[in-house]
Structure 1
Amino acid sequence: MVRVALACLIALLALPASAQQPAKQLFGAADRPSAQQPEPIGSYARGCAAGLAQLPETGESWQAMRLSRNRNWGHPELVDLVQDIGRHMDRIGWSGIYVGDLSQPRGGPMTSGHSSHQIGLDADIWLYPATDMTLSRQQRENISAISMQRAEGAYVNDNWTRGQHELVKKAAQDPRTARIFIFPGAKVQMCQDETGDRSWLRKVRPWWGHHYHMHVRIACPRGARNCEDQDAPPPGDGCAEAQDWVNNILNPPPPDPNAPPPAPRRDLTMANLPQQCASVLSAPAR
């Protein structure tokens, strides 16, 4: 499969960008990482990744879910962070964590589901408390995470406990973490409940849809010259901004009649990605 994808790539790169396949087809066909030094290339939503490491399918305190997707690949710093979070949750009362998508073996645009997760620095960690760390491959395909929100994300529901608070807190306190995305009601709840050091709350940002999992994003590792960091979060703990999100859910502002229509989402081609991504795809597999 990889050889076929690479042969297509060589031919496609000789054609105008308008005639190229979507890059997601090429990156989605690569089933092994490149035999290169680990390197994130480009930005979180427009890039690729060399030399990614595999999060083991099962560890002492984590399990990778939906293994058929082959998305348990990340920069070694991300893989190490995920394992640290799992060990922490095991120590404080969960059996560990269930881990959703990281990246494809060579990063790049995914065939479905995400616009980010392209450079090996993003990980989805389920908010569902892990209890059984012996799930079979089939069980990992079928088990469903549980939503933690009510009122369209304005509030947490009865599934939210101090355990979810500590899960997010552990990830946010790690110096490698740049941001965590979670639904607005969870951020507001954590702002209300936290009585200690509140500095970690700055990294926790409200975003739509993240009520089954939290999305952990680490910063570009030291020395990653071709990696583009996202701007740092605004100063402060971000609690007032999260409350604004909740207020707008409960009392939506009237639509702006002058707002331009959203631009249609287009599939990225190789011409849209950093030029180093062609080398990542053509490199031998590790």
Structure 2
Amino acid sequence: MARILTALILGLGLAGPAAAAPTASALFGAHRDGSKQAPEAIGSYAKGCAAGLVQLRETGPTWQAMRLSRNRNWGHPETIAFIERLSAQATRYGWKGLYIGDISQPRGGPMTSGHRSHQIGLDVDIWMRPPHRLNLSRAERENLSSISVRSADQRRVNGNFTRTHIAILQTAAMDPAVDRIFVTAPVKIEMCKRATRADRAWLQKIRPLYGHHYHFHVRLKCPTGNRQCETQRPTVAKLSKGGDGCDETLDWWVTDYLDPPKPKPGAKPAPKRRHPREYTMADLPAQCQNVLAAD
């Protein structure tokens, strides 16, 4: 059915010279299952697709996938293995496991709503909310919300942020498969304050980014052998002079970012970035056509 719908969308897009090309998000969003291909991340985290993704089980011994109606619990096998690994490790710190948010669509690609990234099966959102139980119904998973670990003024963590959060984030950062982890800036600042001088190297993978106070976003490295996967730059080793990302530039997120200085007279506004929802197949790697067409 998805292949028929894809063909219809493509056909409508090519109906006439003036017709707009269908968006890649509509084409990838039409598929309900992964492709029967060897697992491969293709392109970049924010402009690509993925072959052979597998679905994270809705419920495991130490996790539950949330918002099942989105059908975004698909990932590269290495991502699924990481989730299973980290959720089991979380139980060592007193949590029952992890609530898992979006990973990718069945074949990756741009989404019809939400994320810019999560396109190649190597990104996963993990809720900041400690699971109170792991037998939630489908309806409960749609209606339950995560918790914010950021203060109302966005400059510091609140009482929801605990040592257990730090332990789980550190465990994730020390996993060799992980490239970086996005968190709200106050979390990074707090972790920099609490880390010991002797053990800070893992902090370089913890990156401040707006919008990550209800969940943390783990991004895995390109898997070995996935030659179409684009490694992100800069690498974590070159993040900052100190190597841990705890230098003075971190304060920007709770100063100028929240209260930007007035632009200089005559300064041109920054050009508007295209959102991946606007991409067509021509914007993605050519191999993504094969992913869409595969069984």
TM-score, normalised by the number of residues in structure 2: 0.91
Match of 2:255 in 1: 247
How big is each residue's C-alpha offset from its partner over 1:204-227, in whole Å with a ceiling of 9 and x where there is no partner? 110001000001001101111101
Match of 2:206 in 1: 204
C-alpha contact 2:90 2:98 (8 A) present in aligned 1 = yes
**Equivalences, count:** 284
CA distance in 1, matches of 2:279, 2:123: 19
C-alpha contact 1:17 1:269 (8 A) present in aligned 2 = no
Change over 3 Å in CA distance of 1:157–1:17 after alignment to 2: farther
Match of 1:274 in 2: 285
C-alpha contact 1:89 1:95 (8 A) present in aligned 2 = yes
CA distance in 2, matches of 1:59, 1:270: 35
C-alpha contact 2:10 2:22 (8 A) present in aligned 1 = no
Change over 3 Å in CA distance of 1:259–1:169 after alignment to 2: farther
Q: Secondary structure at the match of 2:168?
A: helix
CA distance in 2, matches of 1:5, 1:160: 45
CA distance in 2, matches of 1:96, 1:123: 15
Q: Unmatched 5+ residue regions in structure 1?
A: none
C-alpha contact 1:109 1:118 (8 A) present in aligned 2 = yes
CA distance in 1, matches of 2:74, 2:166: 26
CA distance in 1, matches of 2:72, 2:187: 26
Query: Alignment identity in percent?
Result: 53
How big is each residue's C-alpha offset from its partner over 1:55-89, in whole Å with a ceiling of 9 and x where there is no partner? 11101110000000000000011111111110011
Match of 2:245 in 1: 238
Q: Secondary structure at the match of 2:255?
A: helix
CA distance in 1, matches of 2:114, 2:168: 23
For the aligned residue pairs, the C-alpha RMSD in angstroms reads 1.9
Match of 1:224 in 2: 226
Change over 3 Å in CA distance of 1:169–1:32 after alignment to 2: same
C-alpha contact 1:100 1:126 (8 A) present in aligned 2 = yes
Q: Does 1:169 align with 2:167?
A: no
Q: Secondary structure at the match of 1:141?
A: helix
Q: Output aligned runs, 1:54-133, within 5 Å.
A: 54-133=55-134
C-alpha contact 1:96 1:131 (8 A) present in aligned 2 = no
Opposite residue 114 of structure 1, the aligned amino acid is: H
- 1:265 is aligned, of 262, 274, 295, to 274
CA distance in 2, matches of 1:207, 1:71: 22
Offset of residue 259 of structure 1: 4.0
Q: Does 1:146 align with 2:153?
A: no
Opposite residue 5 of structure 2, the aligned amino acid is: A
C-alpha contact 2:10 2:21 (8 A) present in aligned 1 = no
Offset of residue 12 of structure 1: 6.5
Opposite residue 8 of structure 2, the aligned amino acid is: C
CA distance in 2, matches of 1:88, 1:254: 46
